[in-house]
Structure 1
Amino acid sequence: MKKILIASIFLFLGTSSYAQQIDPLLTSDVEDQEKWVENIMNKLSLDEKIGQLFMIQAYSNKDKKHTAYVKKMIKKYHIGGLIFMQGTPEKQAELTNTYQATSKIPLLIGFDGEWGLNMRLKNSFRYPWNMTLGAVQNNKLIEQFGERLGEHCKRIGIHVNFAPVVDINTNPENPIIGNRSFGENKYNVTEKAIAFTNGMQSTGVLANAKHFPGHGDTSTDSHKTLPFLDFTLERLDSIELFPYKELFKINLASVMVAHLNVPSLEPKPGVPTSISYKVITELLKEKMGYNGLIFTDALNMKGAANYAKPGDIDLAAFLAGNDMLLIPEDVKAAVKKLKSALKKNLFTEEKLNQSVIKILKAKYWVGLNNFTPINEESIQEDIITIKDKLLYRSLMKEATTLVQNKEAIVPIKELSNTKIAYVKLGDSDNFAFTNTLKKYTQVDIISEENLTVLLQKLEPYSTVIIGYHKSNETPWKSFKMTEEELIWLEEISKNNNVILDVFASPYALLNIPDFKNINAILVSYQNSKVSQEISAQMIFGAIEIKGKLPVSINQVFPEGTGITTSNLMRLSYTIPEEVDMDSKLLSKIDSLTTMVVDSTMAPGGQVLVARYGKVVYHKSFGYQTYDKKQQVKLTDIYDLASVTKILGGLPMIMKSEEMGLFNLETTLGELLPYLKGSNKDTITMKEALSHVGKIKPWIPYYLETVDSISKVPFSNLYSTTKSDNFSIKVAENLFLINSYTDSIYKKIAEAPQRKTEGYKYSGLIFYLFKKYIKDTFHKEMDELNNENFYLPLGSKSLGYNPLKKISPTEIAPTEIDDYYRHQTLRGNVHDMGAAMMNGVSGNAGLFSNSNDVAKMMQMYLQKGFYGGKRYFESKTIDKFNQRYYENDSIRRGLGFDKPSLDPEIKASSKYASANSFGHSGFTGTFTWADPDNGILYVFLSNRVYPTMSNNKLGEKDMRSEIHNLIYKAIQKTNAYFN
């Protein structure tokens, strides 16, 4: 007889005339599910059935007394489930195993994880809040988000996650929902909720839509009081109930009923919806046809607890139609009331059975019919993964929203003449934001307590970026601007072009009285490190902006507002897996750079790795010198030595050829009249730049200017003070006579040619071109490079004679010179010939940090395009990045070094493609770009400190070893590279 009853209840729950066509709690093996439920039901006593209705609180951050209490409740009252609160994932998994072992029937474990386990648990992953996700237009990402939350829950034994929140937040003053809502548009909220539910339930974790019938348009918190909603049935049906109706169609497993006072649904004064028969049974179950699992909201919340005392409220909730009673205040009193009511025929055992069967069906649905203890090992590795980090970044990139953009100020395109300041508003951190802004160009942080003084300081700036930073700790933290902040924003906007970036709820914009003077407004939603990094990159066009406002801002910015921007193809900054590289393998660079320092190959340096225009490894290592007093920072700059050839000499050579001033067959005699008739007259540009012109490798000009014994510079050629005749600075307090420059050109012209044919590296051609460029363009090479390349690229540390603009403390010392200049070289070029050219040569003289080298190299890698600007035609890059003498076993391009054709010679990684190019520098520098694999690599060091006789870095070929490792980190080709 009992078996017939169970089957009929299964049938009733699946085919009621009002119900969904498919019961959301039925599994594909429904017959096995029915048998398991029937078997359990046949063994349950009345007390055990009543116990299944309760889900009580459990904490993983409390003492043994609490654990003993929960175990006692499980044993004594046979409770059906636990909702875990604060603690850690590891401790929760441990306690879940303990409690499951205590319970006769497997416990249904619940959890509030709206934005992930981090909503309750420390040391777990935090995803964005729903308001942030409401701005995302790609709902496939929301489904992936739901899936990852489900996987996290399942990993630590959670069976029902009380999410998604489907409240439509039409009230900006809502104190409890707000950021927890996907927004104010019912269609957007519903689409997000459906995607989330599909994702989470695909992992075998029950989704739970809350807070029925709708908590979005309230101005009070149901945790503290009973919110009042005076809406018509038509309004509720059209807005609040809309997501539920759509979710029921896709088999939403469970619903949570809120504590709300809604007279149009429940006419009895003050009766919360959570205990209303009209709301739960007549509306939710009968009219809307829902037959999934129904939970009350927490019964200890004042919205319910103020209505009736413990026990009475639980009975009322059950009679109203709820299946599970969440967080009862007094289980003992509740059980007593329920048993008494049953005896008084206030409800039947059949009604009790219906709820218990639904609970057991849900337990089968989540796999509790085959419960196995949770694996307590490696939980952190499983719930904080690269997959999560990638998804988080994708969500933030899709969410960030541009709501105003006068004169298309965002993204910032022009960097040469744009002077940018940053001003902070708000009371939270901003380091990641400002640090990332500075990667693109010089951005000065201006702070001042007095507004008048601040405005004066901002006068020289063409653009001011204002970051409004509020706490990212919880979605309930205040997001409102203070009166003072509103005044400051208004005054700065009157006087400067302003980009306002809001790292808080979009509702933070509500109190701004006028937007007319603000040029651009970016809503970044949350003040997380990743959000700050991504938003800064968007301001400079490294990432396009796609988000749409999920809520309205007065009548100015309607819901759905969102201006899209294009990608200017500047370097962006992310994690390796975004470009199919392995973080763990790439992190092995750390050990190699440690070896560099520990083995005294160099005191320190920087390494940058990018792929497809995305920087995925960027670290400094070691110290500026071996005394270990000053650690290397990413902003420190290094003497690039011969890397100057491709970043300093070659750009204007390529530009001149592109302009038609010469071609590759033009001879040096035609180009440089003073070489006419010399032994270099007939050497073509192609031969010279490919190093096959038989030009002498180098000339130690300085030796003829110093005493051969003492190495002291001759006093007739040098002065310790600068003057009209002695203006060529070769080092601190050491100036060369001006006339000596002509002597250098004469020595090059008269130098004998090599007798042997073939390849021999020579830097002399790059000395000659300094004069050609000056004679042709009537400007010095450093000025032309600054104007045409470095400043427009935002490479402000890249340049000659850095002491003119950079503090010595930010420049790594190059060498302690005891043979010519007799001082520590710090900011003065190491190369003696370049020093004698006033620090400016195509051969050497450039200084830079790794980030600014990367910009120039990425521009080459992108065939002359960067930051929305074309610097070279694609064919020009191809022309110079070509081996013209490959048949003669010569690897070089025109100016660019290329991979070795001889396996015994290591010019770069052995894995670098034939199309790759770059250069190395004597001081311990190296940069290489590979178009075929999208790889860009920069290595900077001062290996010549304290003396250039130390060549351990070259002997160990450490730069190429790191280069090899970069290729091995490409995930899709690991098998090949290994």
Structure 2
Amino acid sequence: MDIMMSRLKKALSLLLASTVAFGTVINITHAQNIDDYVLSGSALVYNDENANTAAEIVAKMTLEQKIAQMLMPSFRYWKNGDKIGDVPVLNDEMRNCIKDHGFGGVIVFAENIKGTEQTIRLIDDMQNASVSGGNLPLLIAADQEGGRVTRLATGTSMSGNMSLGALNDKNIAKEYAEIMGSELSAVGINVDFAPVVDVNNAPNNPVINIRSFSSDPDIVADMGQAFIEGLHEEGVITALKHFPGHGDTGTDSHTGLPRIDKTYSEIKKLELVPFKRGIDANSEMIMTAHIQFPQIEKETYTSIKTGEKINLPATLSKTMITDILREDMGYNGVVVTDSLDMASIKDHFTLEDTAKLAINADVDMLLIPFYMMNAQDIAKIDEYIDSIADMVKNNEIDEATITRSAERIVSLKLERGLSEYNEDVEQKIKDAKKIVGCKEHHDRELEIAAKAVTILKNDRNAFPAKLGENEKAVVFCAAEDYFEGVKYGKQILKENNIIPESADIEVYSLENASFDEFKDKVKGAKYMIVDNVMTSLNSIDPSGSTVKFINSALSYAKENNIPSAVMSMFMPYDVARYQNADALFAVYSSKNMSSIPTEFDGETKSYGPGYTAAVCAAFNYIEPQGKLPVDIYELDNNNYSDKILYNIGYGLSYEKHEQESISEVTTEETAKENNTAKESKSGNRTGGNSSHKGLIVYNRDNSSSNDSVSQDSTEKNEKSDINNAPIKESKEIIMQVGNDIMTIDGIEVKLDSAPVIIDNQTLLPIRAIVEAFDCDVQWNDLEKTATVTDKSGRKTVFTVNDNTAYCNNEPKKIDTPPVIINSRMMLSIELISENFGYKVNRNEKQITIKKTGVGSYTDENAA
């Protein structure tokens, strides 16, 4: 016997080794340690107590009971006559439905969750109903993603996934998930349908957007893994979603059937990267996406809505679930569908065919096959279960497939201690009120949200804002719903002596308003801030009322020397529309606050931290440290162009005013391939720092300076970058050969590349000079060209190492071609005087440049 055991173990060991070496997948659950196997007869089997117990439990179930374990319904709404209401309490019909059927789980929504104590009692009622019928306890699931999608009415909402991507800190992501996990566990929710590990590589994605961590799969994978670890720390089951990826689509699967035209090899390199990491992090569940991948799943179905052939979406695809997820990726956990009541499924497939296709694809749990909103709907659940059982009897579904799914579900319950249910509900309520929405959680929520704020532009150090006695700032919000968050921010600033008690932050709504109504309000302000919410491309339509209001406000602020900022509160892509603002911030968090919290007793209504965080970041009470987790594209009318305006990893800071790249954004090889060079000054941003192939464009604001900013800069005489220099109608620039400090009307400005002399030619950094004289510079990293546009609209294009420049498309020969030094394009001193009409004088090593409109060059060193 020992010899046989030894030989079998050796054989299995070799098989497992070959699995690792050659990527072969075998369906052995938890195949980790060879000593975990025992001899049963002449077979070697895995000694998993839970699996064995699960198999024993499932073996005693009827076919209908096994099918019921695969169902996760919702009691979200209840209909009485013509009235549809929320369900914070079970009625007898619901309670008996749970008791009689023994479902695998129930999903709860905001319509079920109204308060901490109420939620605990509701879930306790559900669990008692299940076990009173002789069934196992339920998996109680919720979509508590954080930020935009949260369910706990009194919990800590947190700032959302994209804010975590902006911080790109695994420890913070883990702590963030721990906070949410502790609150879920406290009220009895044992499954979180999170994290979202979709890679948001479609800016116009209507359903994922800021629910995603990033457009970079490695950032998504890192944050997703940390998120899983945080939820596991609190005993909460995780569910990666939405497999195989919902990020690259412009259609919401709640309302339509999306289609992604990618090959398997393509999604392996992008969409599947975070899912593989999540599997390695032992996520117990994976949720599927109702999305067609026609290059991967070829099988079609005739839509009951249109009569047309459609490709099976991933949820119903055996290729996706069995071949790719189970076999290629080695996943043997519980696969749950997204809601089957979504339009992408129910509009095109019959109830019976949906169940058959999903089960045959090796999906384990069917989430919300249909809504049960009255006694008649509840009666349909028996018909539904019977229809699946009939398909088994008719050999349309293999019962072994259903048995395997039931065993996975039961095994998961046993692993999480759900073999029985015996809670002291009163003690649970008492304990939960110390955890759910506690002040410690909310304080950390605000700190994370504010730190994640990303500074994208800050001309002339317009921010952080500072208010003195009786001074005010004016904030415009998209709607009155957001006022309380701003007011709470003001309260925090005053409590911490950031602004004096007599100072004020006034808040107004721009909804259905004209800016002319508010000119008097803004006129006396020291700062003007607009908190904008972009939900789709329509939000930044230049003909829309919101865009017109904001542009009018920004123009008025410029005319009246009032520093202005636009805070992007939701999808960050709107910053491309408002380049005329002095400062631009991405906040990634737009959930509102209904009232300012006064106590944290476990029953305080949840709120979003974004608007409060925006105030704290604008005044530097909490230092904004975020870096862009997505690329921001330049706009072409009302569409995204292929030109990157701000690239992933970009972000400024108040102190250093530097742009730095997140180290995880690209690999070292990718960085080398794309000639990535770290930018150190925001005012001299060229495309050399891009980690992407394509045109990188940074538009410099050409408006005049705010007087107060100029005065502060003059008094302090601080060294700053070019974008921080005051702008006047007339300037004198003084530079020294070999010196990286230049002065603009007496104010020192730090250069990244000092003037040099090469082959008797004096070369100067073009961007520093032309931007100081209010020109715009665009850099094309692929073509190595700089396009300079002056106020008259004249465009001049220079190419590195090319003796031909183009002025309004007309070629012009130049004696000395531009060169790159320290990632900066350098032009000869003569070319600057001739082409831009500057008076240039060189005396020994000092170069003096004045804007006169008539170009001239004098070299006092010449004989």
Whether TM exceeds 0.5 here: the answer is yes
Structure 1 residue 550 and structure 2 residue 629: aligned? yes
Tell me whether 1:482 sits opposite 2:546 in the alignment: yes
Q: Which residue of 1 aligns with 2:25?
A: 18
Change (3 A) 1:150 1:534: closer
SS of 2:237 mapped into structure 1: coil
**Equivalent residue of 2:529, what SS?**
strand
Aligned pairs (5 A) from 1:939-978: none
CA distance in 1 between counterparts of 2:231 and 2:29 reads 19
1:49-64 residue pairs with structure 2 within 5 A? 49-59=66-76, 62=86
| Conserved? CA contact 1:253–1:292, under 8 Å | yes
| Distance across 2 between alignment mates of 1:478 and 1:200 | 36
Structure 1 stretch displaced more, 490-499 or 274-283: 490-499
Letter in 2 for 1:178: N
How far apart, CA to CA, are the structure 2 residues paired with 1:284 and 1:434?
50
Asked if the contact 2:477–2:530 (Cα under 8 Å) also holds between the matched residues in 1, the reply is: yes
Contact 2:462 2:563 in 1 (8 A): no
Shift of 1:207: 0.5
SS in 2 for 1:57: coil
| 3-state SS in 1 of match to 2:476 | strand
Which of residues 401, 404, 408 is equivalent to 2:457?
A: 404
CA distance in 2, matches of 1:106, 1:453: 59
Match of residue 213 from structure 1? 244
Q: Compute the displacement of 1:374 (Å).
A: 5.6
CA deviation vs aligned residue, 1:527-578 (integer Å, no higher than 9, x gap):
556444443343334332211122222122222221123499xxxxxxxxxx
- Matches of 1:546 and 1:20, distance apart in 2: 45
For the 8 Å contact 1:25–1:358, the answer to whether it is kept is no
2:589 match: secondary structure: coil
Partner of 1:275: 316
Q: How does 1:435-514 map to 2 (within 5 A)?
A: 439-440=498-499, 442=503, 445=506, 451=515, 463-468=526-531, 470=533, 482-492=546-556, 494-495=558-559, 496-502=561-567, 504-507=569-572, 509-510=574-575, 512=577
What does 1:887-902 correspond to in 2, within 5 Å?
none
2:360 corresponds to:
319
CA distance in 2, matches of 1:446, 1:252: 44
1:763-842 correspondence to structure 2 within 5 Å? none
Equivalent residue runs for 1:503-652 within 5 Å: 504-507=569-572, 509-510=574-575, 512=577, 515=579, 517-527=580-590, 530-554=609-633, 555-566=644-655
Rounded Cα–Cα distance in structure 2 between residues aligned with 1:537 and 1:65: 39
Q: 1:431 to 1:25 in 2, by over 3 A?
A: farther
User: Residue by residue, what CA displacement relative to the aligned partner does 1:720-750 show, whole Å, maximum 9, x if unpaired?
Assistant: xxxxxxxxxxxxxxxxxxxxxxxxxxxxxxx
Q: What does the per-residue CA deviation read over 1:343-373, in whole Å, with 9 as the maximum and x for residues that have no partner?
A: 2223333222211111011101221024322
**Aligned partner of 2:478: which letter?**
G
Tell me the alpha carbon deviations over residues 909-960 of structure 1, each in whole angstroms, 9 at most, x when there is no partner.
xxxxxxxxxxxxxxxxxxxxxxxxxxxxxxxxxxxxxxxxxxxxxxxxxxxx
Partner of 2:121: 94
Report matched runs for 1:96-115 at 5 Å. 96-103=123-130, 104-115=135-146
Structure 2 Cα separation of the partners of residues 266 and 47 of structure 1: 30
Residue 340 of structure 1: SS of its match in structure 2? helix
What residue is the counterpart of 1:227 in the other structure? 258
State the Cα deviation string for residues 804-847 of structure 1 (Å, max 9, x = none): xxxxxxxxxxxxxxxxxxxxxxxxxxxxxxxxxxxxxxxxxxxx
- What's the offset of the Cα at 1:326? 0.7
1:421-452: CA deviation from partner (whole Å, max 9, x where unpaired): 42424223132345566752645749797656
Q: Is 1:144 matched with 2:175?
A: yes
1:348 aligned residue: 398
Q: Say if 1:233 and 1:264, in contact at 8 Å, map to a contact too.
A: yes
SS of 1:382 mapped into structure 2? coil
| Counterpart selection for 1:387 from 417, 436, 440 | 440
Cα distance, 1:193–1:364 mapped onto 2, change above 3 Å: same
RMSD: 3.8
Alignment correspondent of 2:417: 367
Aligned residues: 554
Deviation at 1:157, TM superposition (A): 1.9
Aligned-residue offset at 1:396: 1.2
Kindly tell me: are residues 478 and 110 of structure 1, through their superposed partners in 2, closer, same or farther at Cα, counting changes over 3 Å?
farther
Query: Following TM superposition, by how much is the alpha carbon of 1:334 offset from its aligned partner in structure 2, in angstroms?
Result: 3.1
Structure-1 residue corresponding to 2:218? 187
CA shift at 1:401, angstroms?
1.2
The Cα of 1:130 is off from its aligned counterpart by 1.6
> What is the deviation of 1:460?
6.8
Distance 1:179 1:52 in 2: 33
Q: Which among 319, 326, 329 is matched to residue 285 of structure 1?
A: 326
Show the counterpart of 1:432: 488
Alignment of 1:243-258 (within 5 A): 243-258=274-289
* CA distance, structure 2, for counterparts of residue 115 and residue 487 of structure 1: 32
Question: In 2, distance between residues paired with 1:188 and 1:323?
Answer: 29
Residue 230 (structure 1) shift: 1.7
Task: Assess, with a 3 A threshold, how the Cα gap between structure 1 residues 263 and 235 changes in structure 2: closer, same or farther.
Answer: same
- Output the amino acid matched with 2:488: A
Answering whether residue 220 of structure 2 is matched by residue 203 of structure 1, we say no
Kept in 2, the 8 Å contact 1:57–1:84? The answer is yes
Alpha-carbon distance, 1:22 to partner: 6.8
SS in 2 for 1:207: strand
Residue 381 of structure 1: how far off its partner (Å): 2.8
Q: Please report how far the alpha carbon of residue 489 of structure 1 lies from its aligned counterpart in structure 2 after TM superposition.
A: 4.0
Structure 2 gap ranges (5+): 1-8, 37-45, 78-84, 301-309, 371-379, 594-608, 634-643, 658-710, 717-863
Match of 1:629? Answer: none
Q: Distance in 2 between matches of 1:535 and 1:410?
A: 12
Contact 1:284 1:290 in 2 (8 A): yes
User: 1:518–1:344: structure 2 CA closer, same or farther, 3 Å change rule?
Assistant: same
- Alignment deviations for residues 104-150 of structure 1 (CA, whole Å, 9 cap, x no partner): 22222221111289823423332222222221232211101212222
Residues 566, 575 of structure 2: 8 Å contact kept: no
For 1:156-195, list aligned pairs within 5 A.
Answer: 156-195=187-226
How far apart in 1 are the matches of 2:406 and 2:385? 15
Residue matched to 1:649: none
CA distance in 2, matches of 1:148, 1:30: 35
TM-score, normalised relative to structure 2: 0.58
3-state DSSP of counterpart to 2:565:
strand
Per-residue CA distance 1:393-425 (angstroms, 9 max, x = gap) = 231132111111223333357x78997642424
| 1:334 paired residue number | 384
CA–CA separation in structure 1 for the residues paired with 2:626 and 2:348: 43
Residue identity opposite 1:426 in structure 2: A
Higher mean displacement: 554-563 or 417-426:
417-426
The answer to whether the Cα contact below 8 Å between 1:422 and 1:445 also exists between their aligned partners in 2 is yes
* 1:446 and 1:454 in contact (8 A); partners too: no
Note if contact 1:425-1:467 (Cα within 8 Å) is conserved in structure 2: yes
Equivalent-residue separation in structure 1 for 2:469 and 2:128 (angstroms): 70
Deviation by residue 1:304-328 (Cα, 9 ceiling, x = unmatched): 1122222221121111110111111
**How far off its partner does 1:336 sit?**
2.2
The residue that corresponds to 1:422 in the other structure is 474
Paired position in structure 1 for 2:341: 300
Check whether the contact 1:273–1:280 (CA below 8 A) recurs between aligned residues: yes
Q: What is the distance in 1 between the residues matched to 2:440 and 2:411?
A: 32
Aligned 8 A contact 1:211 1:257 in 2: yes
Contact 2:155 / 2:183 at 8 angstroms: preserved in 1? Answer: no
Q: In structure 2, the residue corresponding to 1:126 is in which secondary structure?
A: coil
Measured at CA, do residues 123 and 264 of structure 1 come closer, stay the same or move farther in structure 2, by a change above 3 Å? same
Q: CA distance change for structure 1 residues 381 and 299 in 2, over 3 Å: closer, same or farther?
A: same
Q: 1:325 to 1:483 in 2, by over 3 A?
A: same
Query: Alignment identity in percent?
Result: 26
Q: 1:479 to 1:432 in 2, by over 3 A?
A: farther
Q: How far did 1:100 drift?
A: 2.2
Distance 2:157 2:49 in 1: 37
TM-score, normalised to structure 1's length?
A: 0.52
1:390 counterpart letter in structure 2: D
Question: Is residue 568–residue 574 contact of structure 2 (8 Å, CA) maintained in 1?
Answer: no
**Secondary structure of 2:617 counterpart:** helix
